[in-house]
Amino acid sequence: MDAAFAAAVVSGGSVLRLGRSLPSCQALSRVRSATACHSSRSLTAPAVRPAGASFPAAARSLIRAAAEKSCLGRWFKTEAAKFLNAKRCVMQISVPLSRLCPSRRNPRWVKPEREAHRRLVASIRAFGLLEPLVVRPAEGEAKNYQVIAGNRRLSALRQIHREDKQDPKIPCEMRKVDDATADALSLSENFAREAMHPLDEAEAFATLASDEAKGVESIAAEFGVSDRYVKQRMKLASLAELVKSAYRQGQIDTATAEAFAAVPQERQVAIWQELNGSPHNAEQVRGIIAAAWIDASNALFDISVIPESAVSRDLFSERVLVERTAFMEAQGQALAAERQRLVEEGWGQAVVGSWDEVRDRLLSTDKAEHELDERTTQKLKRIESRRQKMEAKLDKIDEGDEAALSAVGEQVEALERLARQIAEDAPQRFAEATKAVGIVFLILDPEGKVRREFRVAKRSPHSGVNGNGQGGGESASGTQPPTSDDLSDRQLAATFTHQTLAVREALLNNNRARMRVLALILHEKVRSDGLAIRHEANAVTLQTTRGDGFTSPVAERLKEQRAALDPIADSRFIEDHQAYARLSELSDAKIADFIDLLIVEAVTAHLQRRTELVHRLGAELKVDIRQSWRPDAAWLGSYQKIQLAHLLGELLGPTYAPANENRKKSELVEVLAKLFSDAAEGTFEDKKLAGRVNRWLPTNLREVAGSNG
């Protein structure tokens, strides 16, 4: 008869045999648990266990019941007797490691995973051998023992002691049994073993960390697992109690529990309630989490700036999650910084927004052509050379040889595809001229990802500014990069305001011109965009009070004079008779000065194009705007980087412009602001250069200066 096993399965009244069908884990576990309390755990002095009544009654009853129900009762009683006898013949001994050999009859033929072996090694190193090996005398080998149960432990012990010079003694439980019983014992141990529940591991690790103040690395080393494994298990310990309970009871699987553990407990409870306590699977939970949390891998910012309460680490999918509102706020700040960086690098515009916000504008642009680096260029040259050779080869093939034509044609197409792929994969580099007229779209999607589109606006050949303020406010025309002659709306407004203020001050010192202006103001048939006759503040006056960096010493002087002369300056509004009474208190000289001041303050200008009256007055009064204004950092900052480089070339010589294109915009602003400042203060040794810098005017004011002779 084949070798029999020593455990019975009470199931349908049948008895299974080793070699025909494997006994269930449950049944073997019942037999093992019934006999476990009988086994001595002493690992020191060997002892012979008494026979007979010492064997547990529970085990005998279980086996007897199985025998009675079995149709093979007589055979089973015989085999069971062998098993009971094996339990009686047990001795605790210590065996040198070199005398132990694995059993060739071990039912575990598939080699255990390396990770499991590593854990076992770490456990024995940390806590010793918790359970002795079960051995029997090796047949035909004196003093050697064959391991019936514990081959994994034997392998771990050999690894631990492989460098030892002495032969360590290993606690063993020796049994004199035949092959059939040895097989049954080995199989019983392997089937009865049950893995620890992940939540039990989690709470055990958490206890070690809290009660014994052990760190993750220490716990991992003790149990032979990775740091990440310990962190993952400890994350499970942070599950909300209702989720833990469902996990223990098998209502949710491990993947679903891990999905819940990705977020704080209060959010876990909210999701649990949202799903009525019945989540279908892990993906459903992750889908709900995704609506309120964003993967931090999409962040352009350092997540350490986010409050810890808004950050959750999903150790199971190796993600860090950030609460949506906090993420989008920080991402918006990061995009603002990137926008500034792109402008610093010389891009004409950088636009931030969602797809819906930028779609229409983006679709009205063309893709910006990027330059290829030297390495990519050389690759493409080699591919083109090969392609041309193939083309030449095609010309030499007879037209009737379709197979050859097809083969070479396919090679040519393959080279063309390769060239396109290399060009697409090449690093994106753009010429300064391209960047100057280009637009970078930073498109933020609902998941926090940012897509970058480098585009060139579709512009008509006649759009833009022609340098003297005539036309629109764009910085360049067509696809040509702008120069320092092309001014932005802000620069036009600032320079026209400074020009008008200088004209106002000059009018105060010219009575005849001032009287003519008064006549213009009072005449009912005069139409003018250079005179503000309404009571509301005019454009030039408003420009001086905007608070965006605009400064003018002329404006300050006129303001001081107004404060000294105006008797109703402290009133927001006043009735005419009350105002007349206050004016009556002024002397004739003061009232005349006040009228003069009111007259000049009526002079205004269009802020985006030349105002002819202001232009004529400036020429007649010989106004030199550079006496009251010079380009400062605020005004220069409205230029693009390529325009600043052009201006440096204009002032210092054309050789400076290309070199300065490689510098940041803020650096060029600083250099130019200092250049204008030093020239105005007379600190230049090069007087010729100082004169050129002091005479420089933006193009919208040059005609006025030219007319002054």
Domain locations along the chain: 25-110+148-165+174-192, 352-453, 489-707
- Of the pLDDT bands very low, low, confident and very high (cuts 50, 70, 90), residue 16 is very low
Lowest mean pLDDT among 400-414, 447-461, 615-629: 447-461
pLDDT of residue 44: 32
Report the distance separating Cα 215 and Cα 28, nearest Å. Answer: 38
> With 80 as the cut, is the pLDDT of residue 330 above it?
yes
> Would you call 97 exposed, middle or buried from its count of C-beta atoms within 10 A (0-12, 13-18, 19+)?
middle
Closest to 526 (Cα-Cα) out of 470, 595, 602, 594: 602
The answer to whether the beta carbons of residues 533 and 601 sit under 8 Å apart is no
pLDDT of residue 703: 67
Segment 344-368 mean pLDDT:
91
Residue 686 CB partners (closer than 8 Å, separation 6+): none
Helix extents (H) in 397-450: 402-425, 432-436
Q: Residue 355: helix, strand or coil by DSSP?
A: helix
pLDDT of residue 83: 52
Phi, psi of 639 (to 5 degrees): -75, 155
Closest to 486 (Cα-Cα) out of 494, 478, 495, 475: 475
- Long-range contacts, stretch 47-56, CB < 8 angstroms, 24+ apart: 47/91, 47/92, 48/90, 48/91, 49/88, 49/90, 49/91, 51/88, 52/88, 54/88, 55/84, 55/87, 55/88
Segment 237-252 mean pLDDT:
87
Report the distance separating Cα 311 and Cα 635, nearest Å. Answer: 43
**What is this structure's pTM?**
0.53
The answer to whether the beta carbons of residues 634 and 549 sit under 8 Å apart is yes
Phi, psi of 453 (to 5 degrees): -120, 125
> With 70 as the cut, is the pLDDT of residue 18 above it?
no
pLDDT of residue 479: 63
pLDDT of residue 286: 83
Residue 227 CB partners (closer than 8 Å, separation 6+): 216, 217, 220
Lowest mean pLDDT among 31-40, 460-469, 517-526: 31-40
Residue 611 CB partners (closer than 8 Å, separation 6+): 496, 500, 529, 530, 604, 605
> With 80 as the cut, is the pLDDT of residue 112 above it?
no
- Of the pLDDT bands very low, low, confident and very high (cuts 50, 70, 90), residue 442 is very high
Phi, psi of 677 (to 5 degrees): -65, -45
| Secondary element (H or E) of residue 3 | none
Place of tokens 């050789």: 655
- Of the pLDDT bands very low, low, confident and very high (cuts 50, 70, 90), residue 455 is very high
Reported residue count of the chain is 709
The answer to whether the beta carbons of residues 186 and 106 sit under 8 Å apart is yes
Compute CA distances 301 → 334, 445, 453, 454, 665, whole Å: 6, 16, 20, 22, 23
- Of the pLDDT bands very low, low, confident and very high (cuts 50, 70, 90), residue 440 is very high
pLDDT of residue 672: 94
Rg (C-alpha) for the chain, rounded Å, is: 46
- Both structure tokens of 583: 């004016």
Chain-wide mean pLDDT for the chain?
Answer: 78
Closest to 544 (Cα-Cα) out of 644, 639, 638, 628: 628
Report the distance separating Cα 203 and Cα 194, nearest Å. Answer: 18
Q: Which range has highest mean pLDDT (112-116, 249-253, 442-446, 523-527)? A: 442-446
> With 80 as the cut, is the pLDDT of residue 257 above it?
yes
Report the distance separating Cα 509 and Cα 620, nearest Å. Answer: 13
Three-point CA angle 117, 122, 126, nearest 5°? 150
The answer to whether the beta carbons of residues 544 and 498 sit under 8 Å apart is no
Point out which residues pair with 100 in neighbouring strands: 145
Helix extents (H) in 532-640: 539-543, 553-565, 576-584, 588-601, 612-620, 633-636
Segment 507-525 mean pLDDT:
81
**Amino acid residing at 234:** M
Phi, psi of 458 (to 5 degrees): -85, 105
Segment 307-333 mean pLDDT:
83
- Both structure tokens of 43: 């690992």
Closest to 234 (Cα-Cα) out of 269, 270, 258, 252: 258
The answer to whether the beta carbons of residues 387 and 415 sit under 8 Å apart is yes
Place of tokens 């007879």: 398
Q: Residue 578: helix, strand or coil by DSSP?
A: helix
> Would you call 511 exposed, middle or buried from its count of C-beta atoms within 10 A (0-12, 13-18, 19+)?
exposed
Segment 697-703 mean pLDDT:
87
> With 70 as the cut, is the pLDDT of residue 525 above it?
no
**How many C-alpha atoms does 576 have within 13 Å on its Cβ side?**
0
pLDDT of residue 4: 35
Compute CA distances 45 → 90, 172, 216, whole Å: 13, 11, 38
Sheet holding 349-353, edge to edge: 349-353, 438-444, 450-457, 365-367
pLDDT in tens, 261-280: 888 888 889 889 888 888 88
Burial 311-334 (b: 16+ CB within 10 A, else e): bbebbbeeebbbbbebbeebbeeb
- Of the pLDDT bands very low, low, confident and very high (cuts 50, 70, 90), residue 468 is very low
